[in-house]
Structure 1
Amino acid sequence: MTDLVPIRRALISVSDKTGLIDFARALDARGIELLSTGGTAKALREAGLSVKDVADVTGFPEMMDGRVKTLHPKVHGGLLALRDNEEHVAAMSEHEIAPIDLLVVNLYPFEATVAAGAAYDDCIENIDIGGPAMIRAAAKNHSFVNVVVDVEDYDALLAELNANDDQTTLAFRQKLAQTAYARTGAYDAAVSTWMASAIGEAAPRRRAFAGTLAQTLRYGENPHQTAAFYTDGTNRPGVATAKQWQGKELSYNNINDTDAAFELVAEFDPAKGPACAIIKHANPCGVAQGATLLDAYKSAFDCDRTSAFGGIIALNQPLDVETAKEITGIFTEVVIAPGASDEAREVFAAKKNLRLLTTEGLPNVLDGGLTVRQVAGGLLVQDKDAGFVDMDDLKVVTEKAPTEEQMRDLLFAWKVAKHVKSNAIVYVKDGATVGVGAGQMSRLDSALIAAKKAERMAEAMGLPQPLTIGSAVASDAFFPFADGLLEAAAAGATCVIQPGGSMRDNEVIDAANEAGLAMVLTGMRHFRH
């Protein structure tokens, strides 16, 4: 392969015209001939640049509402011809095909059209055909052709030309080609994913997933693992779309835990009051609602003060100065909220290692979307857990029915249990978690661990008894035996929420009645692995 090749002729056709004029002027100043199409050609001419229409090169006008303009041998021949192949050179001469050394194309804004909620036909019209065809052709022939698909690469190309006397190196063209194929791959993935949803195809024969690099990470879960963070273009409010105001770069584990925290706190409607979730290792160590954001944070913190050290804090309302002052009382890795006051940011500024992220909104926990997990040789794909129950969905199965106050705590516990690794047991009292048991191999162990943590916190806080006394308890899945339920009763729980559906449901219900518990069934489970 040839290393250094000059650029003499460029074809530019872009939907996103950011930086276009300055870039084109820089090419023109180097004596590079400019070819273009439609709106791009118009913009270049209005800027005073000399440009030739592709229609003048092909001898065919743009037609069919612009659907046909670059699909022509004089375009694709100019991109695909091998300059060191005698037969290719002869064919170019015979058919008057001039080489194209640089292709600059960014595609019709399909993803933005879908994100805006456009109608089916409008989405179809924003599927680019000629652009991807040219990009793939130019990328295949990267031995001789440069292909630029991202505005971010304009300056990189100009720097390469400056460094190499208006030529580019093979290594540079290879990098551009890889980026180009990734872009067309991501574009096709967006189209196919949208179409599967539009036609109601829940499990299409082929699936494609793609992302755009947001940042390279120092390492993955452990220092010996390399890692990077990619966005998927859905613009769901959260860690991927947040603005980071201060603090060092987020790590792999920070991103994972921050996402878990924000998705949990979004379960609580900010219009119904402030809420706070504190996360450690993707599990909640405290969640609470309160009259103020400060009250919510304090109650969440009191669930497990030990685990909260070095945790992630998520808020469902903008961070205020009083809460900011309280948070800085211990070491915290990340705080994420829909917003933050100027005064709160000033408080955090004194803690340079504390990351503050704001999102300008909360994710809709009832939205659809997919979760994807890699396994050896494949991918597990499922809908996001958007399961939701309210009081009308609950079935009272015990002699004693929950009071209105107990029912509120039961539903609170159920929302939290959805975000705890299974087997999950969550004790709640007065709108705050008071014990969380996560990720154990048996439900009994989760109940025991949560109760033991509550006992330790009572001792640390100088309380006469654990806050699990008089609490509501949630189990993310059914009790296979009565032992886990009885352990919750021994810890002081007075009411229970669980899915039901066990072969031993009657045995569990009888045990609840004997223990004087009120119990409701949801008919829905929330396994989280």
Structure 2
Amino acid sequence: MKKLALISVSDKSNLTKLARGLADNNYEIIATGNTANKIREAGVEVTEISDITGFPELFSGRVKTLHPKILGGILFRRENDSDKKEAEQNNIYPIDIVCVNLYPFIEVTKKENVNIDVAVENIDIGGPSLVRAAAKNYKYVSILTSPDQYDVFLDELSSGNISNKTRKNLAVDAFSHTAEYDTYIANYLESKFESEKKSLRINLPKTKTLRYGENPHQSAMVYGEFFNYFEILHGKELSYNNIFDLVSAVELVEELGTNACTIIKHSNPAGAAIGNDIYDAYEKALRCDPVSAFGGIVAFTNVVDEKIANKLNEIFLEVISAPDYTDEALAILKKKKNRRLLKQIKPIGIEKFYLKSIPGGIIQQEMDNLDIVEEKISFPTNKKPDEKELEDLYFAWNVAKHTKSNGIVFVKGKATLGVGAGQMSRLDSAKIAYMKAKEHGLDLNGSVAASDAFFPFADGLIEIINCGAVSVIQPGGSVRDQDVIDAANEHNISMVFTGIRHFKH
């Protein structure tokens, strides 16, 4: 009996090599129109599917392969007597190899201003049917869905036959391929049609197996397109903890804007600043907590040059991220063999949702992308902050937003002076921030402070005032707000209510 292979591909990479390899192994090739033309141009004999089915491609190519002679050739069970009889009666021949990749819906819809009609025409119908049919009948049929599979497959085919294990693995890859495709289509149309979100659909390819997770005994993988955001220029591969801290560093530095620097340790700011340039910003950020900065993650919003590169080499840093580096800066920074140097390719602050695993499912929330809302701002105290204090307050508020709760942040001159993070008591966070500042010789007198949530009692505010702060920014909203306001007035400091809370866990 003749051996048939069906090819219908949108991505024609390595198509000629595959076709020749199949022909060399005595397979007759059947293919759809454009695929057949490409194979024919390469000098390989091919039969068009329309010649098998007796029907032309219909409706501008919308119907090509949905025919019993094609799907039947893929799906019939070779060892089932009834199936064999029906196949013979209907002139259906077994198709043992199917190579299909789908219309580029994902790539097309990533382009700007794509018309919905164009998007819909790139939804493949016949392709997924062929892929699923071949994967379902994996005992007899090999299904290829990516040019990356061709070489290994041809090598095995040339050695004699395709193993059952290979067919099983290809089937799993195939169902994963169509699942990812359908997930993307459903999510895209749900957004375009503004439909109610009734389910959470996630299907992301594994892009990296990490050496280990948060600790050496934990395995970890990266799924999706994380590495489309960063280009690794130098150093060891990123670890699980590196990635988490990198995201924290870049999220904060993006929010701070031009000439900004952040230094992150265990997802919390060890320092953050806006300077006249990034050298100035880095010096200010480092001054906040140079001990914790050791082994930390540093992120910039501007190009790293030779001057700042020399400064960065003075201490051990795990990761440096910037939009770019001068050639001189790279040469200097690469002297540290293991340190990771990353070029940020595009902003990360555009993600909409945050997901976390919980027993039996996933909990989802919107990202905390809310900035200061002018309509919600109020100044409840007798004394009002001056313009410079207000700039520092807004800066402190942004840093507090990216600090684990309970968080207290002291700031002066758009630079952190002390950060108290992740404490069960807001009072303790204030004490830790003061202790850190004092430890590093920083004077909090005349500083401002931010609290990520309201003060349940006046004691937290009084602690901050005693540390030297002259103005405080906080959400407000406590049943004891008036007690807190009275304490601020008593000590003649100004206070700003944002009307927004920024818990971070």
TM-score normalized with structure 1 length: 0.91
- Aligned equivalent of 2:254: 266
- Aligned equivalent of 2:206: 213
138-147 vs 189-198, greater mean Cα deviation: 189-198
Name the CA distance, whole Å, in 2 between partners of 1:419 and 1:476.
9
- Is 1:123 matched up with 2:116? no
Deviation per residue, 1:371-405 (Å, 9 max, x gap) = 21110001111222210116665221111111111
Instruction: Give 1:318 shift.
Output: 2.0
The 8 Å contact of residues 283 and 420 in structure 1, kept in 2 or not, is answered as yes
Which of 412, 415, 430 is matched with 2:395 structurally? 412
Name the CA distance, whole Å, in 2 between partners of 1:493 and 1:174.
66
Instruction: Give 1:309 shift.
Output: 0.8
Deviation per residue, 1:111-166 (Å, 9 max, x gap) = 2222213132322222222111211111111111111212221222123224x32x
> Equivalent residue of 1:11, what SS?
strand
Name the CA distance, whole Å, in 2 between partners of 1:125 and 1:390.
42
> Equivalent residue of 1:396, what SS?
coil
- Aligned equivalent of 1:19: 14
- Aligned equivalent of 1:435: 418
Which of 12, 19, 34 is matched with 1:39 structurally? 34
Name the CA distance, whole Å, in 1 between partners of 2:278 and 2:491.
36
> Equivalent residue of 1:261, what SS?
helix
Structural mapping, 1:451-490, within 5 Å? 451-458=434-441, 466-490=442-466
- Is 1:319 matched up with 2:313? no
Amino acid aligned to 2:405: S
Amino acid aligned to 2:353: L
Instruction: Give 1:473 shift.
Output: 1.2
> Equivalent residue of 1:362, what SS?
coil
- Aligned equivalent of 2:25: 30
Deviation per residue, 1:300-321 (Å, 9 max, x gap) = 1111111111111111112222
Task: Flag the 1:492–1:413 CA change in 2: closer, same or farther, 3 A.
Answer: same
Name the CA distance, whole Å, in 2 between partners of 1:450 and 1:369.
31
Name the CA distance, whole Å, in 2 between partners of 1:433 and 1:391.
24
Amino acid aligned to 1:148: L
Amino acid aligned to 1:375: I
Name the CA distance, whole Å, in 2 between partners of 1:239 and 1:506.
49
Which of 88, 92, 96 is matched with 1:97 structurally? 92
- Aligned equivalent of 1:242: 230
Name the CA distance, whole Å, in 1 between partners of 2:25 and 2:443.
75
Task: Flag the 1:28–1:469 CA change in 2: closer, same or farther, 3 A.
Answer: farther
- Aligned equivalent of 2:295: 310
Name the CA distance, whole Å, in 2 between partners of 1:299 and 1:20.
57
- Aligned equivalent of 1:463: none
User: Number of aligned pairs?
Assistant: 504
Name the CA distance, whole Å, in 1 between partners of 2:123 and 2:443.
58
The 8 Å contact of residues 192 and 207 in structure 1, kept in 2 or not, is answered as no
Amino acid aligned to 1:265: V
Instruction: Give 1:45 shift.
Output: 2.2
The 8 Å contact of residues 275 and 287 in structure 1, kept in 2 or not, is answered as yes
Deviation per residue, 1:70-93 (Å, 9 max, x gap) = 111112112212212222222211
The 8 Å contact of residues 239 and 259 in structure 1, kept in 2 or not, is answered as no
Gap runs ≥5 in structure 2: none
Amino acid aligned to 1:248: K
Name the CA distance, whole Å, in 2 between partners of 1:343 and 1:240.
25
Name the CA distance, whole Å, in 1 between partners of 2:459 and 2:109.
50
Name the CA distance, whole Å, in 1 between partners of 2:428 and 2:2.
68
Instruction: Give 1:437 shift.
Output: 1.5
Amino acid aligned to 1:397: P
> Equivalent residue of 2:341, what SS?
strand
Which of 178, 184, 190 is matched with 1:190 structurally? 184
The 8 Å contact of residues 138 and 167 in structure 2, kept in 1 or not, is answered as yes
Task: Flag the 1:430–1:229 CA change in 2: closer, same or farther, 3 A.
Answer: same
Gap runs ≥5 in structure 1: 1-5, 233-237, 459-465
Structural mapping, 1:13-412, within 5 Å? 13-117=8-112, 118-162=114-158, 164-165=159-160, 167-201=161-195, 204-232=197-225, 240-270=228-258, 274-363=259-348, 365=349, 367=350, 369-389=352-372, 394-412=377-395
Instruction: Give 1:198 shift.
Output: 1.9
The 8 Å contact of residues 425 and 450 in structure 1, kept in 2 or not, is answered as yes
- Aligned equivalent of 1:9: 4
RMSD: 1.9
Q: Percent identity of the aligned residues?
A: 46
Amino acid aligned to 1:292: D
Instruction: Give 1:453 shift.
Output: 0.9
> Equivalent residue of 2:95, what SS?
coil
Instruction: Give 1:210 shift.
Output: 1.4
Name the CA distance, whole Å, in 1 between partners of 2:41 and 2:427.
74
Task: Flag the 1:67–1:427 CA change in 2: closer, same or farther, 3 A.
Answer: same
> Equivalent residue of 2:40, what SS?
helix
The 8 Å contact of residues 379 and 496 in structure 2, kept in 1 or not, is answered as yes
Name the CA distance, whole Å, in 2 between partners of 1:315 and 1:7.
63
Instruction: Give 1:353 shift.
Output: 0.1
- Aligned equivalent of 1:494: 470
The 8 Å contact of residues 2 and 28 in structure 2, kept in 1 or not, is answered as no
Name the CA distance, whole Å, in 1 between partners of 2:188 and 2:361.
21
Instruction: Give 1:239 shift.
Output: 5.1
> Equivalent residue of 2:440, what SS?
helix
Name the CA distance, whole Å, in 2 between partners of 1:485 and 1:283.
22
> Equivalent residue of 2:298, what SS?
strand
Name the CA distance, whole Å, in 1 between partners of 2:124 and 2:110.
16
> Where does structure 1 differ by over 6 angstroms across 4 or more consecutive aligned residues?
none
